[in-house]
Amino acid sequence: MQREQDDQIQDVANRSPWQWKTAALSAVVEHSDAIVVVKDLDLRVVAANAAFARVAGKPSVDALIGKTDAEIFDVSPESEPVRTYMADERAAQRLPAGEVIAREEPVIAHDGSLRFYLTKKHPIFDAQGTLLGTGNISVDITERHELEDQLRVSNTALTEAVTQAKAAVQVKSAFLARMSHEIRTPMNGILGLAELALRRSLDATTRQYLQELHQSGEQLLGILNDVLDQSKIESGQLSLEAVPFDREALFENERSLFAPMAQNKGLRLVSECDPAVPRWLLGDALRLRQVLSNLLSNAIKFTEHGEISLCLQCLEHKDNQVRLRWSVSDTGIGMDSDTQARLFQPFTQGDDSIARRFGGTGLGLSISRHLVERMGGRLDVESAPGVGSRFSFEVCLASVEPPVEFQASVASNDPSAVLNLRGRRILVAEDQPINQHIITDMLRLLGTEVTLAQNGREALEQLAKDDFDLVLMDIQMPEMDGLTATEQLRTNPVWAKLPVVALTAGVTTAERERTRSAGLSDLLAKPVRLKELQSMLSRWLPPVVGTQAAAPAPIPPAPELLERAATAPTETDPATVLAKPDLDLNYLCEIFDDRAAINEFLCDFVVSVRDYVDFVATALSEDNPSEARAMAHRLRGAAANVGAFALSRAAEHMEMALDPGAEQPSNGQIDSRLDNRLDDRLDRQLTELRAVWDRTLAQINQAAGCH
């Protein structure tokens, strides 16, 4: 054996370089898995390698020599595959030197299996350029071909699955939209009538029942809204707006909304807003409020003792870009790291015991994180069991100039809006009797004049006969729906700028887009809340002459009312109450036509400001004079607007005592005195304020029967 190998080596060594290269190339071709074939001008094999013999099922290459493909594979020369091969061979013969024809060719192997080859065919010339035949090189691509077929099948299945998934999402969205409408319509009746009933004179038990009914309805509505938002997130349909909003009004709204809730649990709500934050910002105030409301609601829910903190910091202000950090902290139950890890997953709460104890869907934080991410930020949590939690997020917003029509974008609890809305004419197009009742009573409670239309056609007829300041247009009505009616009225130049607000139970993105496309100015979602109705009217109906917007109360009292308050009695001796009444009913009679309306208005005032004096006292005890001053300012304006001029004057005294521009000691000295249960001056003002409030409340209860 060794001698034979030595002889082969010697034989190769004795060959010329050209001979050596030729032999080496022949060996490579012979042992290649690729098929190599040389054919003459008659398409007969003159040379081939072993790979071709194996595919053809021949014992050796010699069995291929001098035969055509039809003879080798024993098929008819007229068969389609053979005719195709021959056509390609003839085409290759006509190619110039250096060019090739590449084809994917199916081949039936000798064992009957179907194989696929990538074949390249090229002409062969001698040294003088005479065509001798063609050369073929074929690579087996059967495995690749099978993978491509599998991929095509998978892609087809995937496309069908995506189509089915999209169809399912559309069906689900349509179902949720329908269910939302069907649920919101009766909820409008439940919440609206409960809210109106709570403004009546009621015994304590009935009032408690109605309050619990209203709270349960609000909880149900919150669950419905969370499910709809989660559906929008899953379908990629949740969008954000970029409109100017009043940061001060938004912050104050959240504080005033949740302060009573915290106080009812014996908690303190501390708020701190960095004065460096611009007042007017560009963003989605509604979604920002949604995030803050969820965080504050959770903080109050999971805290039994201590305090809740709402803070807004300005981290950076460059050009018109402002980077803000919002945070909500509590001293509640807290949570461990494992609980925090799954906190933001949809339909998930800390653990089953939390779900049983506190309830909830587990959607709020998941939705809040998504909203913050859409704003370009991230919602994070820091927490420890038994210590509390801190949720915070940073967002970048643009600072903007206030709109020309300076209106508060956040609803206020002050009943002073009646002064702005009294005499305004509102056309309501609504076909459901219960909804007619609710919206009519709410509008009349706000001092407006109301005309009803049963459908869009009647609304157009009423507009042709009378002038209106604003139209509330239900979307789904018989004969003519709200969208069609709005499109028709917009064609009349007379009504081109008339505010037309959609009154609808549909709150999906598609439905909102439909209302905008039809020319509607705004959208008021059912169930309608009085404060949201008031806020919407304030946006679209400018205040009457004699009022002027001022912070922090969105709708301040008329100047002449404050002038009357300035001369009102503020004595604290109970013996002077009857001689010098603190409530001027004659003033209210100038505004309202009947006693029932006066009683409703007074009860509304009591509900709105019943905790204001306690808020002032709490803020002072917590060394927060700016918060106390802001609350006194609001009480001053609200009291003047119901004719409680003595109370307005007492609130003004407190406001002046807390004026940072007044002569008083430094902040450190103020804090020292407040730690000593308030300085003498503030103590006197607080005593005066409480006494006048008690007297005013007694007179309101006597006059209107409020509780």
User: Where among 364, 399, 434 does a domain terminate?
Assistant: 399
Residue 324 pLDDT more than 90? yes
Q: Would 74 be classed as within a structural domain?
A: yes
Question: How confident is the model at residue 417, as a pLDDT?
Answer: 42
Domain that holds residue 688: 559-704
Q: Would 231 be classed as within a structural domain?
A: no
Q: Would 66 be classed as within a structural domain?
A: yes
Across 158-264, the runs of DSSP E, i.e. the strands, are 243-246
286 plus 394 within the same structural domain:
yes
Question: How confident is the model at residue 281, as a pLDDT?
Answer: 92
User: Where among 487, 513, 540 does a domain terminate?
Assistant: 540
699 plus 589 within the same structural domain:
yes
**Helix, strand or coil, per DSSP, at residue 239:** coil
The CATH number of residue 611's host domain is 1.20.120
- DSSP class of 557: P
Residue 356 pLDDT more than 50? no
The CATH number of residue 56's host domain is 3.30.450.20
Residue 86 pLDDT more than 90? no
Query: Which phi-psi region, left, alpha or beta, contains residue 133 (left: φ > 0; alpha: ψ -120 to 50)?
Result: left
Q: Would 193 be classed as within a structural domain?
A: no
Residue 408 pLDDT more than 90? no
Phi, psi angle pair for 430, to nearest 5°: -155, 130
570 plus 521 within the same structural domain:
no
673 plus 580 within the same structural domain:
yes
Q: Grade residue 653 by pLDDT with cuts at 50, 70 and 90.
A: confident
Question: How confident is the model at residue 425, as a pLDDT?
Answer: 94
- How many domains, the chain? 5
Residue 14 pLDDT more than 70? no
Question: How confident is the model at residue 389, as a pLDDT?
Answer: 94
Across 241-306, the runs of DSSP E, i.e. the strands, are 243-246, 268-273, 280-283
323 plus 300 within the same structural domain:
yes
User: Where among 339, 371, 399 does a domain terminate?
Assistant: 399
Q: Would 212 be classed as within a structural domain?
A: no
Q: Would 456 be classed as within a structural domain?
A: yes
Question: How confident is the model at residue 18, as a pLDDT?
Answer: 57
Question: How confident is the model at residue 458, as a pLDDT?
Answer: 95
Share the mean pLDDT of the chain: 78
Residue 572 pLDDT more than 70? no
User: How far is the C-alpha of 564 from the C-alpha of 547, rounded, in Å?
Assistant: 15
Q: Grade residue 9 by pLDDT with cuts at 50, 70 and 90.
A: low
Q: Grade residue 348 by pLDDT with cuts at 50, 70 and 90.
A: low
Burial class (CB in 10 A: 0-12, 13-18, 19+), 574: exposed
Q: Would 8 be classed as within a structural domain?
A: yes
Taking residues 52-69, report their average pLDDT. Answer: 89
| Of 559 and 640, more confident | 640
Burial class (CB in 10 A: 0-12, 13-18, 19+), 506: buried
654-672, pLDDT tens digit by residue? 888 886 654 444 444 444 4
170-211, pLDDT tens digit by residue? 777 777 767 776 777 788 888 888 888 887 777 888 888 888
| Of 228 and 553, more confident | 228
Question: How confident is the model at residue 462, as a pLDDT?
Answer: 94
Tally Cβ neighbours within 10 Å of residue 543: 18
429-449, pLDDT tens digit by residue? 998 887 888 888 889 888 899
509 plus 584 within the same structural domain:
no
| Of 343 and 537, more confident | 537
| Of 567 and 118, more confident | 118
595 plus 700 within the same structural domain:
yes
Which amino acid, 487?
E
Tokens, residue 540? 């679209």
Residue 11 pLDDT more than 80? no
108-153, pLDDT tens digit by residue? 877 888 889 998 998 999 888 899 999 999 999 999 988 988 999 9
Residue 618 pLDDT more than 70? yes
Q: Would 177 be classed as within a structural domain?
A: no
Residue 604 pLDDT more than 80? no
Taking residues 616-628, report their average pLDDT. Answer: 81
Of 226, 224, 225, 217, nearest to 192 by C-alpha is 217
The CATH number of residue 306's host domain is 3.30.565.10
% of the chain with per-residue pLDDT over 90 = 22
657 plus 521 within the same structural domain:
no
267 plus 391 within the same structural domain:
yes
Q: Contact at 8 Å (CB) between 430 and 439?
A: yes
386 plus 448 within the same structural domain:
no
Taking residues 385-396, report their average pLDDT. Answer: 93
466-485, pLDDT tens digit by residue? 999 999 999 888 889 999 99
The dihedral formed by the CA atoms of 238, 242, 247 and 251, expressed in degrees to the nearest 10? -10
Residue 528 pLDDT more than 90? no
277 plus 338 within the same structural domain:
yes
The mean-pLDDT minimum among 226-230, 247-251, 554-558 falls in 554-558
Burial class (CB in 10 A: 0-12, 13-18, 19+), 530: buried
* Predicted TM-score of the model (pTM): 0.50
504 plus 596 within the same structural domain:
no
Q: Grade residue 326 by pLDDT with cuts at 50, 70 and 90.
A: very high
